[in-house]
Chain A
Amino acid sequence: MRTRLALAIPLVLAACAKGPAGDAARAPGGTMIIATTGDADVLFPPVTSVTNGINVSDLLFCRLAELKLALNTVDDAGFRPVLARSWEHPDSLTIVFHLDRRAHWQDGAPVTAADVAFTFGVYRDPAVNSPLAPFLAAIDSVTARDSFTVAFRFRRWYPEQLYDATYHMRVLPRHLLDTIPAARLATAPFARAPVGDGPYRFVSWAAGSEIALAADPAWFLGRPGLDRLIWRVTPELATAVSGLLAGEADAMEVIPARGQLERVQQATDVRLVPYPSPFYAAIVFNLRRPPFADRDVRRALAMAVDRETVVRSVFGPFAEVAVGATSPMQWIWSDSISQLPFDTAAAARLLDQRGWRRGGAGGLRSSHGAPLRFTLLVPTSSQVRQQAAVIVQDELRRLGVDMRIQPLEFTVMERRTQTGDFDAALISRTIDPSPASLLQWWSPGAGGNIGRYADTAFGSLAAAAMRARTRAEAAPLWRSALGRLNDEAPAVFLFSPRNNAAISTRFRNVTIRPDSWLATVTEWRVIEARHIARDRGAPRP
């Protein structure tokens, strides 16, 4: 069936190509259907929080500049122009962007400096309550110098100014939004049928079912290669993979389960495209509780876990052992970062020294009659983490440590870790391309620092890294900070999964930027010989 179709299509195309309509300028086109396990929440970038909502709105709304594939967040050379044709640094606290005059909203209005200033106001407005607002804290003001020139004024100098100015905000159309009260922006009709300035325009959204976008043929940076992008919500992963294998869908951002990955590996029409994931998983210790206040106990536990075994038995080849609180997506990832070795003898020695001696029932260690025992929280939503917890439990038992596993529903676990009501938790962190995200999790007083880790040496290393002028200067400092974190062991950094997108072999020119997998989708193409029925569906005007 499939073979016959594949044979038939080139013939049809060849026949068409002879006609006057078959001119090469119309060669691009095609439809990509993306299976996703979750719907979007809302298509209004300041408040969009769900992965699929972010994916869709990223294609509707542009940034001033985009990170290149290498995700170099420090140097200006790491960025390519989008809405901003160019930019300059007149002084250490200012960046001036010159907008591309060709850029326009999909209703025809030009994208102006006023739009950029308005956007900054929206992101910062407490009534909008954007979760991204804290990332803009270092920006003092955004002002329009003229229609196409906009100046960002910073409170202090730091190397990632350009990153913060461009990465967090997607420019919004002031002329369509400025009459809506800030508190109603997220619920306004615009947020469910937005008008953007990106390569794709909004077509339709059937809640829980489907979101369709169509290429804007007049996009100022050139018509996108694919005419239509359609997201299909398929909550059950196995079904989504079936749809992919049956040819109902063309692509998935990530296939998170090993069993499903193996199904795709056997398919001929779909291939896996691996890319570094933006997350890592770690067992975080609560330093407020007695055994974990002791650095040596934490180090001993970290040395007792054979992370290689954990990763291979849970993921097979589809993940890396974490070198620290980072992922291969970040440019600071390196094998040279110092880590504690897997050394059970050293771990046992350390515990003996600290007074945790074997002798209790079942060879358990105890100190002054108290057994070395703690409870690890694991979310029921993650099979992977539950499997990993069981292996760690077994390894710690051999050391004489009794770790109990408590699976909890995600929201419940989140509540417990936020309020400090836990011994240890197996968490997963999604990180930005910028290494500054380290500070959100591990600096004192940061909201994400659930274990209350506080270390001046780490703090000063990170601060120095933040001040470094170039990536080359910053990298060793960040790596030292990560090494210090490993040495202090406020957590056991277990793994960073390797993401695998599944993409039909109908598509060529596929590249993936790890923090935003469709960032380069305008370059993707359907192989012409493999057009199918939906590729010929006329996009709506």
Chain B
Amino acid sequence: MLRFAARRLAFAVVSVAAVVFITFLLVHAAPGEPMLGTPERALASPETMARQRTLFGLDRPLPEQFLRYARNLARGELGESFVLHRPVAAVLAEAVPNTLLLGGTALVASLLLGLAIGVVQAARHHSRTDTLLSAATLVLYSVPVFWLGLVLLLVFGERLHWLPVSGMTSAGLEDRLSSLGRAVDVARHLVLPAASLALVQAAAFARFQRSALVESLDAEYIRAARAKGLTERAVLLKHALRGALAPTLTLAGLSVPYFLAGSVLVESIFGWPGLGRVAYDAIFARDYNVITATALVSGVLVAAGNLLADVAVAIADPRVRLDQ
């Protein structure tokens, strides 16, 4: 177990380092340069820009810049944002928890919803309910997240006024709310963006779970369980689902990149102040240090997702020996 963990950790560190290296190269190789000031506003003169470049070390050769970046990174320093004039670590410290809240909620919600739909379908596979749900999940799975977000926003926010359309809190009302009230307020703001992210992925989980379950319902040990006199519900939930859970858990672990990529869109639509927005703005402004740091954090999150999925699968299935 320890050796397994150590090896997986080493692998994760190497892949995150590779992500950082490649991102660093790509952002510097990409055309354009950091927006030091906004030239269309006539503000920054060429001399100002040149001085700024020197200040940020952008006039040095690329290998030198990378070495300096790597040295700082090894010391735990992520550098400074060119645009925001503040440490990148501070920028991330504000954004990452928000993205974890949004992405984590969406992941858990999509997993639960996907499992529920998959179980209902498998329990009565080839029935009309199954066919209808299959069609529904296929449609949902094909919907672009961006579009779904806008539709939810228009219907539940603008038209029905059930839920707020943007932000994490109700502006101007914070000081009148108790701490419970604030939690409820954040939860209300969370519903639409989390649903936009979760619904599409729930459809994926449901389709996956259904086929895994239907397949596992065909196993001999399911027949043995029925022969023992277990109720159909117990057969499905205790025996079949447990067997069919591992692939879905693995998929859930692998879906972290989907939630990160989706958060770029969803956070923009719903004004959710998270990592996706930070990354989007930074890419647009060529804020190199911020781009590289968001890649670093994303890499860590993806690696953590895979690791968690492995652990969950191992718990669900004693055959998976972690030291193999």
Contact = CB atoms under 8 A, between A and B. Distances in A.
B33 interface: yes
B161 A131 contact: no
B42 A246 contact: no
Interface string A94-111: 000000000000000000
Nearest to A382: B40
A249 B268 CA distance: 17
A371 interface: no
Contacts of B243: none
Contacts of B44: 49, 131
Nearest to A129: B51
A131 B273 contact: no
Contacts of B42: 429-432, 437, 440-441, 448
Contact of B32 (A1, A131, A208, A411): A411
The range of chain A's interface size is 35 or more
A33 B39 contact: no
B91 interface: yes
Interface in B84-99: 84-87, 91, 94-95
Contacts, number: 180
Interface string B150-177: 1001100110010011111111110110
Interface stretch (A154-162, A226-234, A313-321, A399-407): A226-234
Contacts of A240: 166, 271
A503 interface: no
Contacts of B171: 33, 210, 212, 230, 232, 248-249, 534
A235 B165 CA distance: 12
A395 interface: no
Contacts of A183: 55
Interface in A409-448: 409-412, 414-415, 418, 427-432, 437, 440-441, 447-448
Among A212, A230, A411, chain B packs the most CB atoms within 10 A around the CB of A411
B85 A242 contact: no
B85 A191 contact: yes
A268 interface: no
Contacts of A41: 83-85
Contacts of A212: 171-172
A540 B267 CA distance: 29
A232 B37 contact: no
Interface in B65-94: 80, 83-87, 91, 94
Contacts of B278: 208
Contact of A537 (B47, B166, B176): B176
A208 B277 contact: yes
Interface string B90-127: 01001100000000000000000000000000000000
B94 to A, nearest CB: 5
Nearest to B86: A187
Contact of A230 (B45, B84, B150, B172): B172
B167 A129 contact: no
Contact of B84 (A42, A248, A381): A42
B205 interface: no
A41 B290 CA distance: 14
A302 B273 CA distance: 45
A521 B171 CA distance: 19
A381 B285 CA distance: 12
B175 A246 contact: no
B41 interface: yes
B165 A248 contact: yes
A131 B85 CA distance: 14
A477 B139 CA distance: 65
A186 interface: yes
B165 A134 contact: no
Contacts of A249: 171
A236 interface: yes
Among B40, B166, B286, chain A packs the most CB atoms within 10 A around the CB of B166
A208 B173 contact: no
Contact of A245 (B52, B94, B158, B173): B158
A234 B167 contact: yes
Nearest to B159: A246
A431 B55 CA distance: 28
A252 B246 CA distance: 50
Nearest to A50: B38
Nearest to B169: A210
Nearest to A532: B172
Contacts of A208: 94-95, 273-274, 277-278
Given A230-B172, A246-B157, A418 B95 contact: no
A242 B165 contact: yes
A58 to B, nearest CB: 14
A248 B158 CA distance: 10
A234 B86 contact: no
Interface string B41-71: 1111111100110010000000000000000
7 contacts: A42-B85, A49-B37, A206-B94, A230-B172, A239-B153, A414-B32, A537-B176
Interface of B: 31-35, 37-48, 51-52, 55, 80, 83-87, 91, 94-95, 150, 153-154, 157-158, 161, 164-173, 175-176, 267-271, 273-274, 277-278, 280-281, 284-286
Which 5 residue pairs spanning A and B have beta carbons closest together? A411-B32, A208-B273, A534-B172, A209-B273, A131-B43
Interface of A: 1, 31, 33, 35, 38-39, 41-42, 44, 47, 49-50, 126, 129-134, 183, 186-187, 191-192, 206-210, 212, 228, 230, 232-236, 238-240, 242-243, 245-246, 248-249, 279, 381, 409-412, 414-415, 418, 427-432, 437, 440-441, 447-448, 533-534, 537-538, 540
Given A209-B167, A209-B168, 8 more contacts: A129-B51, A187-B80, A209-B271, A212-B171, A242-B154, A248-B167, A428-B40, A537-B173
